[in-house]
């Protein structure tokens, strides 16, 4: 059955892939994004153009933290929804966020505004318009070094190490409050280090691919022994869509479940690109965690989901996209992450 979904942050890395998969399944998607400059908007525009070429997609440029604009949009879509539809959307997939650990230390106010005020505004619209399902993107950054690995969803997340993690913790608790008070069905997904084609330019895979491909020194914070649970964006998108089923209120990890050292990532990219990486070593950042590693047993049980794209199969996808869109990719500003 064809459904209508609202996807916030639709020009973002994960949200654009989720929107693409929904559209390929012949659902309709109302995509919202403010196209801000958290990172180079040219990459967001490229992703958006891919979606706008697909049938069933409608784009609205607005800031989800602007409650008035958001209300106007919900009003408009409620008027155009089928008479038999109980709400303007079958579900709200809230992926709009300000992401990034290091940058949040410099601008915590911006992170709070988008990730807390924005989430509250979207939740309030779900309450007012009778939306049955709300999905929230959260982060593995909530897990700290005091927790054993692999990280389980019931681990202690009350000691966030960055304003970004703290803002996502606040968003999770807001979502629970709306579930408890108003019966909203909520899925909270904690994503682990997502990579793939057209990935975020402030993340390691995009940055390292470009630096190695263009024979430029890559900046490495720390000694390279830190580990990340690199998860392909296709797997993340599949898991996100699987989490649209009724769950009550659940927090679920989505990760590959196989951490990889940053030094291994650099070596493997060098091999695939046929170049020796040049490294500009910098001290580790205090807000960074030493390891992310997802326990995905709950995702397998609740969502019938498990990762399918291995690290060795997924890295060439990111490289191929860079090569196929080199002029754009070379020009993108990488940010200071």
Distance between CA atoms of 53 and 62, rounded to whole angstroms? 20
For position 285, what pLDDT does the model report? 77
pLDDT in tens, 263-280: 999 999 999 999 999 999
Contact 70, 11 (CB under 8 A): no
Q: Residue 189 falls within a domain, yes or no?
A: yes
Which tokens belong to 319? 């490289």
pLDDT in tens, 30-63: 999 999 999 999 999 999 999 999 999 999 999 9
Q: Residue 49 falls within a domain, yes or no?
A: yes
Contact 7, 22 (CB under 8 A): yes
Q: What angle do CA 288, 107, 172 make, to 5 degrees?
A: 70
DSSP 173-202: HHHHHHHHHH--EEEEEEE--EE-TT--TT
Q: Residue 262 falls within a domain, yes or no?
A: no
What's the CATH number where 156 sits? 3.40.50.720
Average pLDDT score over the chain: 95
Q: Residue 150 falls within a domain, yes or no?
A: yes
Q: Residue 252 falls within a domain, yes or no?
A: yes
Per-run averaged pLDDT (10 residues), the chain, 337 residues:
95 98 98 96 98 98 97 96 87 96 90 96 98 97 93 96 95 98 98 98 96 95 94 98 98 97 98 96 81 96 98 98 97 77
φ/ψ of 214, rounded to 5, equals -95, 10
Distance between CA atoms of 322 and 336, rounded to whole angstroms? 20
Q: Which domain holds residue 143?
A: 4-199+232-256+294-308
For position 258, what pLDDT does the model report? 96
For position 101, what pLDDT does the model report? 86
Total of domains in the chain = 1
Q: Residue 216 falls within a domain, yes or no?
A: no
For position 85, what pLDDT does the model report? 82
Q: Residue 325 falls within a domain, yes or no?
A: no
For position 288, what pLDDT does the model report? 75
For position 255, what pLDDT does the model report? 98
Q: Which residues are known catalytic residues?
A: 164
**DSSP-H helix ranges across 158-261:** 163-182, 204-213, 233-242
Distance between CA atoms of 136 and 138, rounded to whole angstroms? 6
Say which DSSP state 284 is in. P
Distance between CA atoms of 317 and 206, rounded to whole angstroms? 11
Q: Residue 209 falls within a domain, yes or no?
A: no
Contact 254, 239 (CB under 8 A): yes
Contact 10, 37 (CB under 8 A): no
């Amino acid at each position: 059955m064809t459904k209508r979904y609202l996807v916030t942050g639709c020009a973002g890395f994960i949200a654009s892939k989720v929107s693409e998969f929904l559209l390929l399944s012949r659902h309709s998607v109302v995509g919202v994004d403010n196209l801000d400059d958290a990172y180079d908007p040219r990459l967001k525009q490229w992703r958006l153009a891919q979606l706008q070429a697909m049938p069933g997609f409608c784009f609205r440029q607005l800031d989800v933290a602007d409650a008035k604009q958001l209300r106007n949009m919900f009003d408009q879509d409620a008027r155009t929804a089928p008479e038999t539809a109980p709400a303007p959307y079958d579900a709200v997939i809230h992926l709009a966020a300000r992401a990034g650990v290091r940058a949040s230390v410099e601008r915590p106010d911006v992170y709070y505004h988008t990730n807390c005020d924005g989430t509250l505004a979207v939740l309030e619209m779900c309450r007012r318009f009778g939306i049955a399902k709300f999905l929230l993107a959260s982060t593995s950054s909530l897990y700290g070094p005091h927790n054993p690995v692999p990280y389980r969803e019931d681990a202690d997340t009350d000691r966030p190490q960055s304003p970004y993690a703290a803002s996502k913790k606040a968003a999770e608790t807001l979502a629970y409050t709306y579930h408890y008070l108003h019966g909203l069905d909520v899925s909270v997904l904690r994503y682990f280090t997502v990579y793939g084609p057209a990935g975020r330019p402030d993340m390691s895979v995009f940055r390292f691919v470009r630096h190695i491909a263009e024979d430029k020194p890559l900046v490495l914070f720390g000694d390279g022994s830190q580990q990340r649970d690199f998860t392909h964006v296709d797997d993340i998108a599949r898991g996100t869509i699987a989490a649209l089923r009724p769950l009550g209120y659940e927090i679920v990890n989505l990760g590959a479940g196989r951490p990889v050292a940053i030094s291994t990532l650099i070596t493997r990219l060098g091999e695939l690109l046929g170049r020796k990486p040049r490294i500009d070593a910098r001290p580790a950042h205090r807000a960074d965690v030493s390891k992310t590693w997802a326990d995905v047993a709950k995702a397998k049980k609740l969502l019938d989901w498990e990762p399918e794209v291995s690290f060795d199969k997924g890295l060439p996808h990111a490289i191929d996209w860079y090569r196929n869109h080199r002029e754009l990719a070379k020009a993108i500003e990488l940010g200071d992450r």
